[in-house]
Amino acid sequence: MGGLGAIGVPGLIIILVIVLIVFGPKKLPEIGGAVGKTFAEFKKSTKGLMDDEDDTVKNVEKKSDAS
């Protein structure tokens, strides 16, 4: 139950070969770009949520200190 870390290099190579066979070499740049944009958006959203949580914790601490 190691998650993606348990796949290893041989598993990644097999996955890449299967993707190449299914989609073909002409579609790979498009797919790679879409995956990259998706990960970038996910990272940006996650960072925004973490920043919001940090702000909420700071506000609660300020209120408790003022009491």
pLDDT tens for residues 14-42? 988 898 899 888 888 898 899 899 999 99
Q: Which residue has the tokens 């870390």?
A: 5
Whole-prediction pTM: 0.51
Contacts (Cβ under 8 Å, ≥6 apart) of 28: 19, 20
Lowest mean pLDDT among 38-42, 55-59, 63-67: 63-67
